[in-house]
Amino acid sequence: MALKRSWLMTLLMVLPLALVVSCSESGKVDQGRVVKFDKDKWTATIIRDVKHDPQNPDYSHLPPLTYALPKDPMEMGPEPKPGGRMNLDTKNKKIRIFDPTTQYFKDIDYTLIDQKDNVGREDPLVFDKDEKKAKKFPAVDKEKKTISIYSGRQKILVTFSLPDQYFSYPDSTWDAGDEIRVYYHEEGKAQRCMNITKTDIFR
């Protein structure tokens, strides 16, 4: 009986504390692909994923959202890599990019040169076993007017050509920015940040 009474007293003391912690921790979560990372201001601008489906994301929320990132290293994952590619539609041979000038999306038709499906991350086509690291993509050849892109999520390696004017764009235009998840109480100010792309092996 004494043991039972002691257990009940402990529960009565711990339960209110747990409730207080739970309430103080309540906040909001946002997630999206990084299109801009300002290291000086320590901010990240994202296009929100409106589906929250890792295998079929939908980066279509506008306007872009900018978050001040946490300065505490314990609350901050690896620095995010920005990129302009929102979607690679191999069925319709279109690539969607975010244009920072217009702050809007641009759908571009491409001419397919080559496509390899079911390409895993350690496939020799995309992984250098001697160097023990992934090969660099996107690979932009301005002389041949070709761009090669590898999507680990889609397991696709595709090479295509575009009209000449697009080869004046930065190479990062054709790269997929890292996806991050932020936890916040105050709009635009992340208390925690996780770089999902660099921590989730399935992305």
Per-residue confidence (pLDDT) for residue 97, from 0 to 100: 98
Give the C-alpha separation, 33 to 195, whole Å. 10
- pLDDT, tens digit, 9 for 90 and up, residues 37-55: 999 999 999 999 998 777 7
Work out the burial of residue 23: count CB atoms within 10 Å of its CB; fewer than 13 is exposed, 13-18 middle, 19 or more buried.
exposed
- Tokens linked to 42: 């320590």
Model confidence, pTM: 0.82
Per-residue confidence (pLDDT) for residue 26, from 0 to 100: 78
State the amino acid at position 140 in one-letter form. Answer: V
Work out the burial of residue 113: count CB atoms within 10 Å of its CB; fewer than 13 is exposed, 13-18 middle, 19 or more buried.
middle
What is each CA distance from 46 to 85, 94, 108, 112, in whole angstroms? 12, 22, 21, 29
Torsion of CA 13, 14, 15, 17, to 10 degrees: 100
Q: Residues in the chain, how many?
A: 203
**CATH architecture observed for domain 29-81+177-199:** Beta Barrel (2.40)
Per-residue confidence (pLDDT) for residue 15, from 0 to 100: 41
State the amino acid at position 21 in one-letter form. Answer: V
Give the C-alpha separation, 88 to 98, whole Å. 12
- pLDDT, tens digit, 9 for 90 and up, residues 90-116: 999 999 999 999 999 999 999 999 999
Give the containing element (helix H, strand E) for 182.
strand 179-186
Positions in the chain whose pLDDT score sits under 70: 1-25, 200-203
First to last CA, the chain: 54
Domain chopping of the chain, boundaries: 29-81+177-199, 111-174
